[in-house]
Structure 1
Amino acid sequence: MDTLPHIAVVDDHQEIRELVARYLEQHGYQVTEGESAAAFLKLLETEVFDLVVLDIMMPGKDGFSLCRELRQFTQLPVIFLTAVAEDADRIIGLEIGADDYLTKPFNPRELLARIRAVLRRSQAGSQENRITVEHGTKLRFEDRVLDVTRQEVTGDDGVSIPLSSAEFRLLSVFLEHPGKVLSRDELLDLTSGREADVWDRSIDNQVSRLRKKIELDPKSPSLIKTFWGDGYCFTGTVSRA
């Protein structure tokens, strides 16, 4: 089940959620339902999604607001599925970062086709743009450069700061997954191969030490941000130096 694409369906109408979930599950997807923006944000604390099907008109935070919030730290594909059919709203949805926009009433087969198309584009883009931390390379993030061979970070002022092995592994993981919220468990998996205890809070300590070396103000970090519970997200722009 873990290898199936994981789709979130966020809609305050239970009938719509269940209809979409059943149909997608019949066609090979793992589906998790959320009845509101708040419920979906709570799910993000523990779940990793490949795409979200999102309603606009919901109690509390609406779909537009949730999409804007998501775009601050992730490129998770978003398809709006909504009764809001005005052209102006469709344009707004796409301008704030949605990948597609489908109005109700809808044909489940069309929704499935759009999901498949968006996932193909997303997967192709992630493979094309992904930067891997390899020996001999230098990676720039904001005004700093990581020298992978030397395992040190150099600022525009020319001052080099050496990293411990643990700090280097952690920074490497963040640079390979910019814009993605990574839970403590995921960071343990990616940095230590789950050799450490899953309840080990050493990740928090490592993040704190790494912030002191790469953040202008470690007490108010702008590169490694904390999101919802135990998640951390690297929000800087990464490129080859």
Structure 2
Amino acid sequence: MTSKILVVEDEREIADLLVAYIERAGMQVLRAVSVPEAIMIHSQSAPDLVLLDIGLPGGDGLDVLAAVRRRTDTPVIMVTAVDDDVSKLSSFRIGADDYVVKPFNPSEVIERIRAVLRRASGAREPKRITIGPLIIDLESRLASCVGSEASERRLNLTPTEFEILAHMARYPRRAFTRAELLEAAAPGSEAYDRVVDSHLSKLRQKLAAEGCKDLIEPVRGVGYRLWLET
């Protein structure tokens, strides 16, 4: 069945770009350019997913997100030029499923749509993620590194370190902000996002000690990503 995507965007060029890529991916598109129109179309058409800008005529995109969450659990991906941590955390706390900052790669947006739709449809998360020498068992909450002799060396991780590593491993090569990693590891936490630097420093040391050196790298001006040279 074809997925129906509601694009809420008042900048015509951006909306046209998103629509073109979504339709090319075989999905149906609905469009809205304001807060009242977005709320009305969502209630009448029941889209499978919403791409939602924050800066909109007639209010704020977060108002649309809150209205959607009061009625349904429709997946929502924020697509916005607003790149501050307060807006990101507010979006996730209200119920956003993902957050994309403009300018964006439209192909990446399509992959994020597909990933969120898979999760929403109940597609089971793999029990085990393998990235190069790193193995993460999500069911037993264990992580290990495979050495040159094919032996697994278990990582002694704290719960927060494990959550951060597992979250990054689900989206390898994606650059995460500190706020995103903090939200993944401790939803609703009031801690400063710079605390993530401390967790990542210890996590990188533990990975290196067990043979998984240089898997996590800092991304200047953004945060961190899990990277494997291919």
Q: TM-score, normalised by structure 2?
A: 0.52
Partner of 1:115: 113
- Which amino acid is the alignment partner of residue 107 of structure 2? R
Aligned to 2:83: 85
1:7 paired residue number:
5
Give the AA of the match of 2:57: P
SS at 2:78 equivalent: strand
Structure 1 equivalent of residue 15 of structure 2: 17
Compared CA separation, residues 37 and 125, structure 1 to 2 (3 A): farther
Post-superposition CA distance 1:124-168 (Å, at most 9, x none) = 079xxxxxxxxxxxxxxxxxxxxxxxxxxxxxxxxxxxxxxxxxx
Equivalent residues in 2 for 1:1-241, closer than 5 Å: 3-124=1-122
Distance in 2 separating the partners of 1:31 and 1:83: 22
**Once the 2 structures are TM-superposed, how far is the Cα of residue 102 of structure 1 from its aligned partner?**
0.3
1:5 is displaced (CA, Å) by 0.2
Residue deviations 1:171-228 (CA, integer Å, cap 9, x gap): xxxxxxxxxxxxxxxxxxxxxxxxxxxxxxxxxxxxxxxxxxxxxxxxxxxxxxxxxx
SS of equivalent to 1:119: helix
Please identify runs of 4+ aligned residues in structure 1 that moved more than 4 A.
none
SS at match of 1:101: strand
Q: Which amino acid aligns with 1:18?
A: D
Counterpart secondary structure, 1:124 = coil
Query: Deviation at 1:45?
Result: 4.5
Aligned mates of 2:111, 2:47 — CA distance in 1 = 18
| Residue 149 of structure 1: aligned partner | none
Aligned length: 124
* 2:35 maps to amino acid: A
CA distance in 1 between counterparts of 2:68 and 2:123 reads 18
Match of 1:203 in 2: none
1:73, distance to aligned residue in structure 2 (A): 1.4
Write the letter of the residue equivalent to 2:10: D
Identical pairs, percent: 42
Contact 2:77 2:100 in 1 (8 A): yes
Moved more, 62-71 or 36-45: 36-45
What is the CA distance between 1:88 and its match in structure 2?
1.8
- Superimposed CA distance per residue, residues 46-94 of structure 1 (whole angstroms, 9 cap, x where no aligned partner): 3120000000011212111111111111101000000001122111111
Q: Compute the RMSD of aligned alpha carbons.
A: 1.5
Larger RCO: 1 or 2 (CA < 8 Å, sep 6+): 1
Amino acid at match of 1:63: G
Contact 2:39–2:68 at 8 Å: present in 1 too?
A: no
* 8 A Cα contact 2:68 2:74, kept in partner: yes
* TM-score, length of structure 1 as denominator length: 0.49
Q: Structure 1 regions of 5+ residues with no counterpart?
A: 127-241
In 1, Cα distance between the equivalents of 2:111 and 2:22?
A: 11
| Secondary structure in structure 1 of the residue aligned to 2:16 | helix
How far apart are the structure 2 equivalents of 1:45 and 1:57? 21
Alignment-derived partner of residue 239 in structure 1: none
Q: Give the deviation of 1:41 after TM superposition.
A: 2.1
- Letter paired with 1:17: A
